Amino acid sequence: MPIFKEQLLIKVKWGKELFNDVEANTDEDPLLFKAQLFALTGVQPERQKVMLKGTTLKDNDWGNIKLSDGTMVLMMGTKEEDVVKEPEIKPVFVEDMNETELASSLDLPAGLHNLGNTCYMNATIQCLKSVPELREALNSFKENINLQSGEISQSIVASVRDLLSGMDNGPAKHPIILLKMLHTAFPRFAERGTGGTFVQQDANECWTEYFGGKFDVEWKCTESDTEPITKTSEDFLQLSCFISQDVKYMINGLKNKMQEQITKHSSVLGKDAVFTKTAKISRLPAYLTIQFVRFFYKENNKVNAKILKDIKFPLEFDAYDLCSPELQEKMVPIRNKFKELEEQQVTEALSGDKTQQKMTESKNEKIYKIESYSLPDDLGSNNSGYYVLQAVLTHKGRSSSSGHYVAWVRHKEDSWIKCDDSDVTPVTSEEILKLSGGGDWHCAYVLLYGPKILKIPGTKE
């Protein structure tokens, strides 16, 4: 049984600043202690030099540093914005660049360092970063991280905001503050294995609950014609794609999960009976999360084994057939506008001078009216049923407790990036479609679809 060390309150001297009662838990990696110093000083962990009596603290080992309540340690380091960098003189060619330099030259966002089986968190953050409305909401949140207070929910939101704001470009970031907040709020994510390192977690459990919808549910008893049909309503955070032998496409897996056989008590028969549960979506969220149900518990091996089956998914998805008649009726007006615009574009493409058409498109490419993607009385909903794939979270391996998670995110228009912890590289949409499974390569586990935006061309006034 591991021996947990006492959490101490120490002092930290940084230049002219003195911080009292700083928490130090020597049972955790020193990198997490440096995360607290970053929150206090703004000095990135890689720029920190923490010393006690001539001994320098490492990132992964406390070494000979012995702490007790009231101990004062010295921290040296400068905030990144205060560092005067030497100007670049020599030109650097693409073939000579390392991955960080290449990412910067291609305007790629920053990656996230793996802090020990934290790829599940890194991949989740990279996928959620693709939602502009989420980032806007986070930027409007004005509270700060306070590691010394009990406001853990406030600190989690603030740590996500601060992490995302620094990920637009530059070198890979250390998500250590968010990790500490995650461990504090959800201790199961801090579980360690026999070697003392963090154990792998399920990325789907880390997926933030931002994108909710609603089902209309109908219950019909299959064993009695006199049992009345009952109707209920259920909220959902994601749709589940159920994988069976005959499922080859995502839409079929979704439909299978939305009609299933459930055993429950029949008031007419006075016993348990089989009911057919049929769900139809009565509210579509603007951003739709779809989970591929790839893991199942294997009793003989005591593990969550993985279904590797190839399940095709589209870059553009229409959820209309999954919706209730009432919601379908509400979506007709905006769907008609999409069809009218597509017919107009086809007509223009088949007639007229193509050279003149291209010149006109180039001249007016930014002149258009953007239609709202939400229903008038329901902000944050989807009013058309049309979606565009924003991000794919994949898993590589045979079990949910092992393997590796990676995020594949739409970067700009039809360009994509692969976010493999600290490594961020460009990929094509063809490579995205190859993530459908079928072997030990990366398999799509969670998909994030965003609303398809209707842009109606306009002219200058």
| Rounded Cα distance, 140 and 163, in Å | 15
Task: Quote the tokens at residue 311.
Answer: 């399940």
Residues contacting residue 185 through CB under 8 Å, at least 6 positions apart: 152, 153, 156
Q: Which of 450, 444, 452, 451 is nearest to 408 (CA)?
A: 444
For residues 288 and 356, the answer to whether their CB atoms sit within 8 Å is no
Three-state secondary structure along 335-399? HHHHHHHHHHHHHHHHCCCHHHHHHHHHHCCCCEEECCCCECCECCECCCCEEEEEEEEEEECCE
Backbone angles phi, psi at 417, to 5 degrees: -130, 150
Based on the residue annotation, tell me whether 119 is a catalytic residue of this protein: yes
Task: Quote the tokens at residue 444.
Answer: 């799509």
Task: Specify the length of the chain in residues.
Answer: 461
The DSSP code sequence of 127-166 is HHTT-HHHHHHHHT------TTSS-HHHHHHHHHHHHHHT
Partners of residue 101 on adjacent β-strands: none
Backbone angles phi, psi at 61, to 5 degrees: -155, 125
| Rounded Cα distance, 198 and 206, in Å | 15
Q: If you ran DSSP here, which 8-state letter would residue 190 be given?
A: G
Based on the residue annotation, tell me whether 404 is a catalytic residue of this protein: yes
How much is the CA Rg of the chain, to the nearest whole Å?
Answer: 26
Catalytic residue from among 113, 119, 174, 323: 119
Active site residues: 119, 404
